[in-house]
Amino acid sequence: MTNEMIKTEYGNRLRDVEFIWARNSKEFLFANSILIRGNPTIIVDPSATFTYIEGLALSHSVNIVFNTHYHGDHRSLNALFKDVIYASHELDAPAIRSYEVYEKYSDSDPNSIYSQWRHQVFEKYHIQDCPVSKLYKGGETIETDTTQIELIHIPGHTPGHLALYFKNLDCLYLSDIDLTPYGPWYANVASNIDDFIASVDRMRKFEAKHYVTSHGERIYTPEEYQKKIERFYAFFQERDEKILELLKEGPKELAYLASEGIIYRKGALSDPLKAYFQWQMLQKHLDRLIRLKAITQDGFVYSIK
């Protein structure tokens, strides 16, 4: 059998692994899923296409539901599957098991626009707690009778964020190192910018034949992937540089910096959710620049050193 992609009704198939595209996606409400047929049969991040995934759940053919991380857009259809083993990284499992923990991982302000949005999304899409029982650290290999999957711990986006390398297919799935034009997202309390930078740097050097992410209906060639991941990686430094350029003009408060187009374009900040995400991610950049002794903080005011 060759390792060539074949188009299917819902996505693309590489031998016994089918990538199911989130064609009902509305920005970050849904994500691509993966069906790995074999013994056991595994579905990764069930969220992409309700009709198809509901059919898989009703067929009782799936043995394991595997989540690459705890975010709701990667597990919105978990609860459709009955009598299965739920699996994830040990650091993200608590937030999949418990919405209360999910809240703690996500946001420190229970009254924020982001908290309100999360409540609405979880209620609208019936995203439920799941009893994760199979825990991984990264570095393990999951084997079916058709496929070997190496788990790669790529923290930063979340503490237990995992990439999957399909060894016999020479295919890397990067989950939410998603290579989108928005760039890296690290607006959760549990997100870590330093870990995220290190994870993307590691993945820049990962050689494979095929590359797939959780958002966008694309399979990247090595050449396409290299261009995309270099651009994705550059966002971190570009955001730092924008902050430093503004501080060269003089000391600035966080509120002022958050009103500038540092993470999102200024026009996008009319969306209160994006404005909140920018504030959260900007704070992580400022804390990092303080650790690097590039800037100083006096109360709410930041200055270049």
Per-residue pLDDT of the chain (305 residues), as tens digits, is 567 889 999 999 999 999 999 975 444 568 999 999 999 999 999 999 889 999 999 999 999 999 999 999 999 999 999 999 999 999 999 999 999 999 999 999 999 999 999 999 999 989 999 999 999 999 999 999 999 999 999 999 999 999 999 999 999 999 999 999 999 999 999 999 999 999 999 999 999 999 999 998 889 999 999 999 999 999 999 999 999 999 999 999 999 999 999 999 999 999 999 999 999 999 999 999 999 999 999 999 999 98
The token pair that represents 26 in the structure block: 């509305």
Does 289 fall in a domain? yes
Of 299, 200, 204, nearest in space to 254 by CA: 299
Are residues 40 and 112 located together in one domain of the fold?
A: yes
Q: Which domain holds residue 298?
A: 242-304
Are residues 116 and 177 located together in one domain of the fold?
A: yes
Contact indicator for 66, 43 with CB cutoff of 8 Å: yes
Are residues 151 and 267 located together in one domain of the fold?
A: no
Q: Is the dihedral of CA 99, 105, 20, 171 positive or negative?
A: negative
Which 3-state string (H, E, C) describes 54-105?
Answer: HHHHHHCCCCEEECCCCCHHHCCCHHHCCCCEEEEECCCHHHHHCHHHHHHH
Are residues 52 and 107 located together in one domain of the fold?
A: yes
Q: Looking at 220, 255, 273, which one is the last position of a domain?
A: 220
Rounded CA separation 139/152 (Å) = 6
Are residues 164 and 196 located together in one domain of the fold?
A: yes
Q: pTM above 0.85? A: yes
Rounded CA separation 90/140 (Å) = 13
Q: Looking at 220, 250, 285, which one is the last position of a domain?
A: 220
Are residues 58 and 165 located together in one domain of the fold?
A: yes
Are residues 216 and 254 located together in one domain of the fold?
A: no
Q: DSSP character for 21?
A: P
- Report residue 65: phi and psi, to 5°: -105, 120
